[in-house]
Amino acid sequence: MNDKIRQYPEWKELMENYRAVEYGTFVPHKDIESVLSFSRFQNPNKYYAFVEKWKKDMLKQESKQIECIHKSGYKIIEPQEFRSSVRRQLKFAHRRTRKAGEIHTNTPVELLSPEEKQKTINQGVVLTQLLYYSKAANKKIKQIDRKVDKLLLDVGKAMDVGD
C-alpha cells in the first residue's frame, strides 16, 4: 500500500501542509479529512493508511513524532516528549513480545513435523533473547528516567536557592 500511497496527490498535499508545522501543534481529524478530500468514516482503511504513512515520513524526514489523541486527531509532540514516546513504544513492544512468547509456549509441538519442531525450537531461542533484552532495556530506561528527573529536580532547587 505504501508505494500506492505515494502516487496519490492527496498524500503529497498532506505532507506539504504539515511539513513546516510547529512542535506541539494539534491536527484534528477534520483538517486531515479536508486535505485528503474524504472522511475517515467513508474509507477508514485508506484514511489510516495515509495517516500512518504521514506519521512515518514526518518522523524520518522532519524529525517530528506524531501521536494519536483519542477520537480527535493527532499531535506533533514536543522534542522533550520524545523520551516518553520511546518508553511507550518499548513497553508496547515488550507486551507484544510477551504475547508472542505465550503463543510459542502453547504451540502443540507434538503435532509438528520434525522440521517444524526444529524451527519452533530455534524461534524459541530468539524469542527468549528478545524478551530478556526487552525487559532489560525497559528497566534501564526507567533507571535513566529516575536519574534525569532527580537531576532536573536538583537543578531546579539550586536555581531557586540562587534567586
- In the chain, domain spans: 2-77, 80-162
Calculate the alpha carbon distances from 76 to 27, 45, 46, 85, 137 in Å: 8, 22, 21, 11, 26
Q: For the chain, what percent of residues have pLDDT higher than 90?
A: 65
Q: Choose among 52, 78, 50, 49: nearest CA to 63.
A: 78
pLDDT (tens digit per residue) in 51-110: 999 999 999 999 999 999 999 999 999 999 998 899 899 889 889 999 999 999 999 999
Which residue shows C-alpha cell 516518553? 84
How is residue 106 annotated by DSSP?
Answer: T
pLDDT digits (tens, 9 = 90+) for 14-34: 899 999 999 999 999 999 999
Among 2, 4, 34, 41, CA closest to 17: 34
d(CA 134, CA 90): 7
Res. 158: pLDDT tops 90: no
- The sign of the dihedral angle between the CA atoms of 113, 119, 122, 123 is negative
Statement: residue 13 has pLDDT above 90: no
pTM score, whole prediction: 0.72
